[in-house]
Amino acid sequence: SHGMPVAFYNLFIGLLLDRVQLSPRLKQTCMVLALLAFFLPIGLAAKGAAGAPASFPPIGLIGVLGFVGSAVLLLVGTLRTPRS
């Protein structure tokens, strides 16, 4: 269930990333961070399959950090883009 919103988020990033004012390196970083967001549903599924022990490594945290990082970069690029 968590995979579909993450996939939509990646489509959203893909549609907007070429329109914002970011350097090519920051655009590539944003793309990689958005792809890392897929670790969120993978981590949640792995934790559920393991029986949700408290000692399970926080794999989903990688996805959360990727999601937040790419959103921040996209916001920075949007604020830099001149309005017509």
Per-residue model confidence as pLDDT tens digits over 28-81: 999 999 999 888 888 888 888 888 888 888 888 899 999 999 999 999 999 998
> How much is the pTM?
0.82
Sequence-distant (≥ 6) Cβ neighbours of residue 58 within 8 angstroms: 43
| pLDDT at res. 23 | 94
| pLDDT at res. 75 | 94
Q: What is the pLDDT of residues 23-34, one digit of tens each?
A: 999 999 999 999
The answer to whether residues 61 and 43 touch, using CB atoms and an 8 Å cutoff, is: yes
Helices 60-80 + 39-49 axis angle, to 10:
160
CA quadruple 68, 15, 8, 28: dihedral sign: negative
Helices 60-80 + 3-16 axis angle, to 10:
30
| pLDDT at res. 73 | 95
The answer to whether residues 31 and 17 touch, using CB atoms and an 8 Å cutoff, is: yes
